[in-house]
Amino acid sequence: MSKRVFSGARPTGRQHLGNYLGAIKNYVALQTEYQCIYSIVDYHALTTLRDTSELRHNTYEMVLDWLAAGIDPKGTIVYVQSHVPQVTELHLLLSMVTPLGKLTRLPTFKEKIQQQPDNVNYGLVGYPVLMAADITLYKADLIPVGADQLPHLEFTREIVRTFNHHFGDVLVEPQARLTEIPRVMGLDGVNKMSKSLNNHIELAAPPDAIRKQVMSMVTDPARKYRRDPGHPEVCNVFAMHKIYSPDDVERIEGECRNAGIGCVQCKQLYAEHLVAALAPFQERRAAWAKEPDAVWDVLADGARRATEIAAQTIAEVREAVQLP
Ligand code: ATP
Ligand code: MG
């Protein structure tokens, strides 16, 4: 059996540059070698969303982003998490071997408590257990994710070991696969780029919106005046030039250090390169958007294929746990 790849993303908005550089790039690259399964994890979105009216729309928009980025639904399975309900059963069974303290000590949980102190729900605490169920339901070996997900992945590995220790060698211990830019910073230059922090650049944003957002990016904080020398190694814009301006990056670095170029000019250049780099993606996206039925068909077909694998794993798990 060829190795399986699994990953998921929350339908909380369109995909952004951080999602692309940290995860989607690998989703696409891994398709040539592995059986890939990518999920729109709508249950996970419910841990932070109170208004669910956007869920369907966001799901559709995210699939468009994935297809435009190069995910090939002929080979790759793309499906909505809640369309394969076996995950809820595995989530419950995994929760029985999960020490509560492990969940409440996770840095991601502590962050969420701070972000939404009035909505610390049971699902939020159990988020990593559901993620472990997502992954293990498909016996996935490789998990392309951003660096923010590493604690969750380590948790999954531990829970697999515990489960297999109790019930036999049923589940597979997965490994993370990072890109070369596993943590893209937001426009604020302080936090990880996140849909929910609204510090992001959407891949599908119109060119003028991209330009405006790039111009709002925080640069080297020590560079107050135009004449001050800059420090490219701490500048978020320079980090992006390394990716989107390969031909100019050495010149920009030198001119930043000797104040030959100002931050405004530096950002204008980045904005133009980014707009150009996203143009082919945006064209492919527009082509898919003309056929919404085909997009929903991708998800229906994905759910059918995912369910075949999920049903098999659940049968093995139930047997191992000796459920009557
Ligand atoms: P939300 O704020 O709703 O949690 P998000 O922007 O964090 O949204 P997710 O759907 O949670 O996006 O993450 C999807 C994938 O993208 C995950 O693999 C995650 O690790 C990765 N990812 C998210 N943000 C970044 C980032 N700034 N840099 C690199 N990878 C990222
Ligand atoms: Mg996230």
Residue 191 lies inside a defined structural domain of this protein: no
Q: What is the mean pLDDT of the chain?
A: 96
If one residue of 19, 55, 187, 190 were mutated to test the ligand 1 pocket, choosing by the most ligand atoms within 8 A of its CB, it would be 19
Closest ligand to Cα 195: 1
Bridge partners, residue 79, by sequence:
39
Tokens of 217: 């990016």
Q: What is the CATH number of the domain that holds 42?
A: 3.40.50.620
| Predicted local confidence at residue 50, as pLDDT | 82
* Interval between CA 314 and ligand 1 midpoint (Å): 28
What was the pLDDT predicted at 1? 61
pLDDT tens digits for range 111-134: 999 989 999 999 999 999 999 999
Same-domain status, 244 and 103 = no
The yes-or-no verdict on residue 159 having pLDDT over 70 is: yes
Q: What is the mean pLDDT of residues 275-289?
A: 98
Within this chain, do residues 16 and 95 fall inside the same structural domain, yes or no? yes
What is the per-residue DSSP string for 166-223? Answer: HH-S-S---EEE--S----B-TTSSSBP-TTTT---BTT--HHHHHHHHHT----TT-
Number of domains the chain is built from: 2
255 and 312 housed in the same domain: no
Q: Looking at residue 2, what is its pLDDT?
A: 80
Please list, residue by residue across 84-93, b when 16 or more beta carbons sit within 10 angstroms of its beta carbon and e when fewer do: bebbebbbeb
- Shared domain check, 230 and 151: no
The residue behind tokens 């550089």 is 21
Residues 177 and 92 reside in one and the same domain: yes
Q: Which residue, by CA, sits nearest to atom 26 of ligand 1?
A: 18
Query: Is 305 found in the same domain as 216?
Result: no
pLDDT bin (cut points 50, 70, 90) of residue 196 is: confident
> Does the pLDDT at position 16 exceed 70?
yes
Residue 49 confidence (pLDDT): 85
Distance CA 199, CA 217 (A): 9
Position 198 in a domain: no
Q: Does a structural domain hold residue 107?
A: yes
Distance between CA atoms of residues 114 and 107, nearest Å: 11
d(CA 83, CA 164): 27
Percent above pLDDT 70 for the chain: 100
Q: Are residues 178 and 56 in the same domain?
A: yes
HSE toward the beta carbon, residue 69, CA cutoff 13 A: 25
Whether 304 and 277 map to the same domain: the answer is no
Q: Are 195 and 10 in contact (CB under 8 A)?
A: yes
Same domain (yes/no): 272, 296: no
Does a structural domain hold residue 196? no
- Flag whether pLDDT at 31 surpasses 70: yes
Question: Is residue 110 among the annotated active site residues?
Answer: no
H or E stretch including 265? helix 263-289
Is residue 74, in this structure, part of any structural domain at all? yes
Nearest ligand for residue 18 CA: 1
Q: Are residues 273 and 300 in the same domain?
A: no
Q: Answer yes or no: do 110 and 235 share one domain.
A: no
Tell me the per-residue pLDDT of 199-225, one tens digit each, with 9 for 90 and over.
999 999 999 999 999 999 999 988 989
The token duo for 104 is 């409440």
Does the pTM surpass 0.75? The reply is yes
**For ligand 1, which residues put their CB under 6 angstroms from it?**
7, 9-10, 12, 18-19, 22-23, 145-146, 148-149, 182-184, 192-196
CATH, residue 275? 1.10.240.10
Give residues with Cβ within 8 angstroms of 59, minimum separation 6.
Answer: 11, 40, 42, 80, 299
Asked if residue 276 is part of any domain, the answer here is yes
Residue type, 273: H
Taking residues 102-117, report their average pLDDT. Answer: 92
Ligand approaching nearest to the C-alpha of 47: 1
Domain assignment present for 201: no
Instruction: Say yes or no: 162 and 223 in one domain.
Output: no
pLDDT band at residue 305 under the 50/70/90 scheme: very high
The predicted structure's pLDDT at residue 130: 98
- Could you tell me the residue range of the domain that residue 217 belongs to? 207-285
Mutate to test the pocket of ligand 1, among 12, 80, 148 (most ligand atoms within 8 A of CB): 148
Q: Which of 112, 139, 224, 267 is catalytic?
A: 112
Q: For 238-252, write each residue's pLDDT tens digit.
A: 999 999 999 999 999
CA of 10 to the centre of ligand 1 (A): 8
Does 202 reside within a domain?
A: no
